[in-house]
Amino acid sequence: MYINGRWTPAHNGATFPTVEPSTGSTITEVPRGNAVDIDAAVRAAERAAVSWQFTDAVARAAMLRRLAELVTENADELASIEAMDSGHYLAKARELVAALPLWLEYWAGAADKIGGRTIAVPGNKLSFTLLEPLGVTAHIIPWNYPLLILIRSVAPALALGNTCVVKPAEDTSLSALKFAELVHEAGLPDGVFNVVTGYGEEAGAALAAHPGVRGITFTGSTETGREVARLGGQHIAQVNLELGGKSPLVVFPDAALDDAVEVAVQGFCSRAGQVCVAGSRLFLHEEIADRFLEMLVARLEMAEVGDPFDENTQMGPLASKKHYDRVREYIEIGKQEARLLYGGGRPSQTARGGFFVEPTVFVDVPKDARIAREEIFGPVTAVMRWSSVDDLIATINDSEYGLFAVLWCQDITNALDTAKRLQVGAVMINDWFGELPMAPHGGHKQSGVGREEGLEAVHGYTQVKHIGINLDRSLAKSTDWAGAPL
């Protein structure tokens, strides 16, 4: 682990294995940190926060830019680690790692441009706000995009003067540890960035509950997010939650079908469906539904599922055995609730110990089926037909989730009218989700609170201080507050 600028085992020497999901074999042992190690990391981050918050924003930005360069220089190794440890196929992992410096550069650029505002109070006074860092921020990371999700939250936190303690997911600790090596090389002071590996119920819960933590950013399941918010609430930490989804992908009768089919496949097969914005509910207008499904099946027959290190692979395994079992269980539930059109099994050409699942399409899915309402987080989609826009919107909004939606529609008035009425945090029209540092990302309802990315993320890593000055130099002259009802 990386605490206070030093490499350290867990205080009691405990470790746990991290497993390669494409083979099921152990890669290495990782320290099993617990509350004692978390306490050491938070205390180091508290000490470092005193000077980091007053370090010139320009100097903080320079370190983030150096870090961005180091990510680029180490891109091959970082991509291989993600492919081996999380099952992300190598070609995609390389694309993703190549994009990561954008997040560090965006927030390096923002560091000296974010500020408060002046306020037009009555009287001869000056009134303004300062945006100040929170102090120690906790970052609890999931296993689907380990490095992206780490960088997208620590980049604004650090740029805005906070210090960080990161708890990676137990299945995917390795890229966070490699990133810590780069942080060290970039010259960030000791204690500004710390990584404690371990289990969620031990290290993660201890981090969320630590009274020294002033802000928590969590990405993962709604259930765990609720627990993290409860733990953070006990010491009134500011909490950002980016949680689950059951995102709709809607195809209108006038849609460009070739593109819509491609995006539908991306929607539920990208990262083997382990994406918060996965388009796991596919709503097809009845006029084009039959043709669309024929095209979808033809496209899926060409999908290459297999070894993440094979250059032809387009979809790798699920990230862990536990998650594989969960997705397989949902497929069995789906067989009871709807008609299996495609997939449902294990791709024959994949390694025996690996956690592979075929792209799976269920049709004739009732809108109250579990596979139509619950987040599966695997390469599984539930197809429903629609004819009335009002019914469509009512069905989509009748969900505890509200993260994201895709509309495939040429008529821009129809598209915008629908977008306006959906209870979700983002809508893409004739496009697929491309996560970017400058566009806000987050959910409505049980999909979360707060925003990652975009200038909206500033609120998650700062607090407001109001400063007022009486410019009259004499209280006697200042009459405007005298009549205030106190």
Binding interface with ligand NDP (CB under 6 A): 140-144, 167, 169-171, 199-201, 204-205, 208, 219-221, 224, 227-228, 242-244, 276, 323, 326, 375, 377
Nearer to ligand NDP, 111 or 208 (CB): 208
**Smallest distance from the beta carbon of 173 to ligand NDP, in angstroms?**
9
Cα dihedral sign, 258-262-267-273: positive
What DSSP character marks residue 454?
Answer: S
The verdict on whether 311 is a catalytic residue reads: no
Contacts of 392-398 spanning 24+ positions with Cβ under 8 A: 392/250, 392/283, 392/418, 393/418, 393/421, 393/422, 395/283, 395/367, 396/248, 396/250, 396/281, 396/283, 396/422, 397/421, 397/422, 397/423, 398/367
Which of 105, 170, 242, 453 is an active site residue?
A: 242
Distance CA 436, CA 96 (A): 11
Pairing mode of beta strands 339-342, 26-31? unpaired
Q: Copy the structure tokens of residue 54.
A: 């007053």
**Smallest distance from the beta carbon of 483 to ligand NDP, in angstroms?**
51
Nearer to ligand NDP, 299 or 326 (CB): 326
Nearer to ligand NDP, 266 or 470 (CB): 266
What angle (nearest 5°) sits at the alpha carbon of residue 182, between those of residues 142 and 110? 75
**Smallest distance from the beta carbon of 367 to ligand NDP, in angstroms?**
20
Distance CA 164, CA 175 (A): 16
Nearer to ligand NDP, 96 or 110 (CB): 96
**Smallest distance from the beta carbon of 103 to ligand NDP, in angstroms?**
16
Q: Are 445 and 400 contacting, i.e. CB atoms less than 8 angstroms apart?
A: yes
**Smallest distance from the beta carbon of 59 to ligand NDP, in angstroms?**
31
The amino acid at residue 79 is: A
In terms of C-beta density within 10 A (0-12 exposed, 13-18 middle, 19 or more buried), how is residue 112 classed? middle
Question: In the Cβ-directed half-sphere of 61, how many Cα atoms lie within 13 Å?
Answer: 13
Distance CA 188, CA 103 (A): 17
Which residue's CB comes closest to ligand NDP? 200
Nearer to ligand NDP, 299 or 370 (CB): 370
How many Å separate Cα 254 from the centre of its chain?
33
**Smallest distance from the beta carbon of 234 to ligand NDP, in angstroms?**
13
User: What are the residues whose beta carbons fall under 8 Å from the beta carbon of 140, sequence distance 6 or more?
Assistant: 167, 200, 204, 207, 208, 216, 217, 218, 219, 220, 228
Nearer to ligand NDP, 112 or 227 (CB): 227
Residue whose token pair is 């977008």: 419
Nearer to ligand NDP, 159 or 208 (CB): 208
Nearer to ligand NDP, 101 or 142 (CB): 142
Residues in the chain: 486
Nearer to ligand NDP, 264 or 272 (CB): 272
Torsion-angle region of residue 273: left (phi > 0), alpha (psi -120 to 50) or beta? left
Of 483, 480, 246, the C-alpha closest to 380 is 246
Report the first-to-last Cα separation within the chain, whole angstroms: 54
Q: Copy the structure tokens of residue 480.
A: 């405007």
Q: Are 426 and 441 contacting, i.e. CB atoms less than 8 angstroms apart?
A: yes
Active site residue ranges: 242
